[in-house]
């Protein structure tokens, strides 16, 4: 056969050659070469059928291997994005506020106001504690063994248990959505950070005796509500006070990133209710399967034959 390079016959001693392309639905993946050095021959139909079956299995294996590599790469990229977002939303903004507090403390030193300086240094201490908490959470998340993707219900249950195990009042969890909600990674991270901040405020600052955490669904909207019976505060005044309630501005920014509405209702002496409502974006990776399990079919191999 003139299509067989002479060097193959001379150096490899090829007398018969069968070349089969390995195909998938996305195009060619490679080629399989079968050589016979003993004698020229014609490949029998049963041999071709067996070889085609082998090539089809090889195609499935190659597609699956490529899919797993893509999933690993996507998981690594997601983790990098999560760490970057966590540092930007948490530590970076906390350090920015710390710089502002220090500038204000310097002004009090120049004005000779010892009382104002003492109060400002107390605020600086709070910001430093917040930065320390952010760093510890980031380190802990890096040391954790990767877990399978979990539903919003499971994650809220974990939050409730963690906060209930602390020194503050227990968190009463109410799950009113039966269907598991597997959120997209960016939505999951931002929503949990908002809920966590609301729980922190209720335990640390509100002096609450009871805290409720409720998950509900109304139509397409999902809402997570944190309600306490603590001290409460003036919501309108907190918007005007640029020094106080730093955490609320971060919560609103995080809610905006996922297109959510954060409603905070509070009255001094009557507790606080923080409700996050949004249309969730579900994680498509949960339903992603490999070609064999999802029933994806591969194109038949195209057999090319050359005899020498």
Task: State pLDDT tens for residues 208-219.
Answer: 889 999 999 999
CB 217 within 8 A of CB 229: no
Residue 28: enclosing H or E segment and its boundaries?
strand 27-36
Position 244 scores a pLDDT of 47
Q: Is 97 within 8 Å of 127 (Cβ atoms)? A: yes
pTM of the entire predicted model: 0.50
Which residues lie across from 18 on neighbouring strands?
A: 34, 305
| Radius of gyration of the chain measured on its C-alpha atoms | 31
In the chain (308 residues long), the average pLDDT of successive 10-residue segments reads 70 78 80 80 85 86 81 74 66 71 78 80 80 74 63 92 82 93 86 90 82 94 94 74 61 90 91 94 55 35 38
Whole-number Å distance between alpha carbons of 135 and 144: 14
In the chain, the N- to C-terminal Cα span, in Å, equals 5
At 66 the three-state DSSP class reads helix
pLDDT of residue 103: 79
pLDDT at 156: 95
> What kind of fold does domain 149-283 have according to CATH?
Heat Shock Protein 90 (3.30.565)
Burial of 259 (0-12, 13-18, 19+ CB in 10 A): exposed
What are the extents of the domains in the chain? 149-283
Which pLDDT does position 177 carry in this prediction?
Answer: 92
Per DSSP, the chain holds a count of helices (H) and strands (E) of 9, 8
DSSP codes joined into one string, 230-286: S----HHHHHH-SSS-HHHHHHHHHHHHTT-EEEEEE-TTS-EEEEEEE---B-GGG
pLDDT of res. 22? 85
């Amino acid at each position: 056969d003139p299509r067989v390079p002479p060097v193959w016959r001379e150096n490899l001693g090829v007398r018969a050659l069968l070349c089969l392309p390995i195909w998938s639905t996305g195009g060619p993946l490679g080629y399989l070469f079968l050589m016979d050095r003993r004698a020229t021959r014609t490949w029998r139909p049963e041999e071709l059928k067996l070889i085609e079956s082998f090539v089809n299995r090889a195609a499935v294996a190659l597609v699956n291997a490529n899919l797993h590599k893509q999933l690993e790469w996507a998981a690594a990229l997601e983790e990098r994005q999560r760490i970057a977002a966590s540092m930007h939303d948490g530590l970076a903004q906390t350090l920015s506020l710390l710089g502002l507090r220090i500038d204000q403390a310097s002004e009090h030193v120049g004005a000779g106001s010892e009382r104002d300086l003492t109060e400002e240094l107390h605020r600086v201490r709070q910001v430093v504690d917040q930065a320390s908490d952010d760093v510890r959470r980031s380190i802990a998340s890096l040391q954790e063994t990767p877990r399978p993707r979990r539903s919003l219900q499971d994650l809220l249950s974990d939050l409730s248990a963690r906060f209930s195990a602390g020194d503050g009042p227990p968190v009463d969890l109410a799950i009113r959505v039966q269907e598991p909600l597997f959120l997209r990674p960016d939505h999951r991270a931002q929503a949990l950070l908002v809920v966590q901040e609301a729980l922190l405020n209720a335990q640390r600052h509100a002096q609450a005796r009871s805290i409720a955490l409720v998950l509900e669904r109304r139509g397409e909207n999902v809402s997570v509500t944190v309600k306490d019976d603590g001290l409460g505060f003036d919501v309108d005044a907190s918007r005007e006070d640029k020094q106080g309630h730093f955490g609320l501005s971060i919560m609103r920014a995080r809610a905006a990133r996922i297109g959510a509405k954060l409603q905070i209702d509070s009255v001094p002496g009557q507790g606080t209710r923080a409700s996050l409502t949004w249309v969730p974006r579900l994680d498509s990776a949960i339903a992603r399967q490999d070609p064999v399990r999802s029933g994806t079919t591969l194109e038949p191999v195209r057999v090319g034959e050359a005899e020498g």
